[in-house]
């Protein structure tokens, strides 16, 4: 079954710009039933349970993961032998938190929560060896990502299909214009979006 599972990043939500743009195009093309954008729990174990359930429901979706979502997507792609598109993905995020418990705020819901040692341990448990399959993994990076050092992903995914753009930012500038690539990669017919004006996104 042709479908997409979009996996948002830390403190993000289905209301994020990229997720909203993808949802709008899917609704326009009448394929929204083949798209899932779950509002992920902040704890990795609960988020992973949500994602495993979505995969079970969709069959063999294309995984589209942004930031921490890219880390989750890499784990799931390895586990289920799925294809993945990763956008400015986090690499070994458990190493970024420095052992401190830090209060976090979801950018969209306003929910506050405490990032604990258990969160970090759960993230560490999802680490997998660097993927070797260039056919199944596409990685889109922008060099001016202000949140993550793109060179870490460039190194980790060196055997994959890398697309590195100069400039941009962590949110990935120009994402809307690349939505046709994502839909085609997932196996949807170009007829679905040929009359859609992507400049309106």
- 32-71 confidence digits (pLDDT tens): 999 999 999 999 999 999 999 999 999 999 999 999 999 9
What is the band of 84 on the pLDDT scale with cuts at 50, 70, 90? very high
**Residue % of the chain over a pLDDT of 90:** 91
* Average pLDDT score over residue span 13-42: 96
Whole-angstrom Cα Rg for the chain:
16
Q: Which residue has the higher pLDDT, 99 or 45?
A: 45
Fold of 4-92+130-200: Rossmann fold (3.40.50)
pTM assigned to the model: 0.97
Angle of helix 44-58 relative to helix 68-80, nearest 10 degrees, comes to: 50
- Residue 1's pLDDT band, with cuts at 50, 70 and 90, is low
104 SS3 class: strand
pLDDT category of residue 73 using cuts at 50, 70 and 90: very high
d(Cα 112, Cα 95) in Å, to the nearest integer? 22
Separation between Cα atoms, residue 178 and residue 158, nearest integer Å: 22
**% of residues, the chain, pLDDT over 70:** 100
Mean pLDDT of all residues in 69-95: 97
| Residues in Cβ contact with 66 at an 8 Å cutoff, skipping those fewer than 6 apart | 6, 7, 8, 9, 12, 16, 18, 86, 87, 88, 89, 172
Q: Domains of the chain: which residue ranges?
A: 4-92+130-200
CB-hemisphere CA count at 13 Å for 110?
A: 0
């Amino acid at each position: 079954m042709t479908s997409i599972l979009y996996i948002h990043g830390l403190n993000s939500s289905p209301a994020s710009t990229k997720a909203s743009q993808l949802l709008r195009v899917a609704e326009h093309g009448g394929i929204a039933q083949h798209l899932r954008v779950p509002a992920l729990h902040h704890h990795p174990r609960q988020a992973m349970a949500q994602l495993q359930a979505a995969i079970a429901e969709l069959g063999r979706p294309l995984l589209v993961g942004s930031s921490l979502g890219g880390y989750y997507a890499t784990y799931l792609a390895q586990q289920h032998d799925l294809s993945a598109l990763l956008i400015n993905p986090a690499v070994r995020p458990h190493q970024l938190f420095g052992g401190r418990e830090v209060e976090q705020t979801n950018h969209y819901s306003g929910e506050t929560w405490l990032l604990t040692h258990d969160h970090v341990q759960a993230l560490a448990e999802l680490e997998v060896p660097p993927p070797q399959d260039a056919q199944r993994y596409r990685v889109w990076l922008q060099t001016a990502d202000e949140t993550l050092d793109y060179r870490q992903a460039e190194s980790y995914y060196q055997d994959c299909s890398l697309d590195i753009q100069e400039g941009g930012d962590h949110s990935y500038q120009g994402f809307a214009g690349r939505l046709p690539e994502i839909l085609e990669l997932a196996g949807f017919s170009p007829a679905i979006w040929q009359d859609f004006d992507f400049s309106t996104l």
